[in-house]
C-alpha cells in the first residue's frame, strides 16, 4: 500500500527535512511526498481504493499500536493508497474534515507544519515496523 504524504508548503532545507528524509529512507513500504502551495492546488484522486487521514488538532489520538492496526487493516482490506494530509496554517476546511476517513491528532497542542511532517514520517515508520515484527517499536 502506498503511503502518500500531502503537505501544504515547502519543507526546504531544515533539520525537520533531514528527519523526514531519514524516515522516508527507512520505510520499506512505498512512499510518495507531495507538496502543495499554501492555498489552492489539489492532488488528483487515484483510480484505486484509498483512504484519507487529515492531521487535525481535533482528531483522534492514536497510540502507535492502534495506528499500525489501522494501516494494517486498510492494507489487508485491499486499500491501494493511504493519504496523510497536513493542512496550511489555518488547518482544514469543514468540508475537508467531513470528507476525510480519519481525523488524527498528535495531541491537543498545535504543531508547526514541519514538525508535524517529521512526526508523521516517524509514526509511519513505526507503524510499518510494528506490522513487520521489527524490534524498532518497544511497547512498555
Cell 502518500 identifies what position? 4
Pick from 106, 84, 109: which is nearest to 33 by CA? Answer: 84
User: CATH second-level architecture of 2-132?
Assistant: 3-Layer(aba) Sandwich (3.40)
In this predicted structure, the answer to whether residue 13 has a pLDDT above a threshold of 70 is yes
In this predicted structure, the answer to whether residue 140 has a pLDDT above a threshold of 50 is no
The mean pLDDT of the chain is: 91
Confidence band for 10, pLDDT divided at 50, 70 and 90:
confident
Cell 528524509 identifies what position? 21
- Per-residue pLDDT tens digits for 99-129: 999 999 998 888 888 899 999 999 999 999 9
Copy the grid coordinates of residue 118: 517529521
- Residue 5, SS3 per DSSP: strand
Alpha-carbon distance 78 to 63, whole Å?
23
More confident residue, 140 or 82: 82
Contact 72, 43 (CB under 8 A): no
CA atoms within 13 A on the CB side of 101: 14
Domain ranges for the chain: 2-132
Q: Where are the beta strands (DSSP E) in 72-129?
A: 81-86, 102-104
Identify the burial level of 80 via C-beta atoms within 10 angstroms of its C-beta, where 0-12 means exposed, 13-18 middle and 19 or more buried: middle
Copy the grid coordinates of residue 101: 476517513
Give the dihedral sign, CA 49/53/59/63: positive
Amino acid at each position: 500500500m502506498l503511503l502518500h504524504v500531502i503537505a501544504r508548503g515547502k519543507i526546504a532545507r531544515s533539520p525537520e527535512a533531514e528527519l523526514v528524509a531519514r524516515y522516508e529512507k527507512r520505510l520499506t513500504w512505498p512512499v510518495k511526498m507531495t507538496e502543495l502551495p499554501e492555498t489552492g492546488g489539489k492532488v488528483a484522486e487515484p483510480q484505486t481504493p484509498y483512504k484519507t487521514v487529515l492531521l487535525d488538532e481535533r482528531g483522534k489520538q492514536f497510540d502507535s499500536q492502534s495506528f499500525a492496526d489501522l494501516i494494517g487493516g486498510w492494507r489487508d482490506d485491499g486499500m491501494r493508497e493511504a493519504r496523510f494530509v497536513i493542512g496550511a496554517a489555518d488547518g482544514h476546511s469543514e468540508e475537508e474534515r467531513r470528507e476525510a476517513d480519519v481525523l488524527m491528532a498528535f495531541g491537543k497542542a498545535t504543531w508547526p507544519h514541519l514538525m508535524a511532517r517529521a512526526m508523521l514520517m516517524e509514526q509511519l515508520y513505526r507503524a510499518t515496523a510494528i506490522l513487520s515484527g521489527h524490534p524498532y517499536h518497544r511497547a512498555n
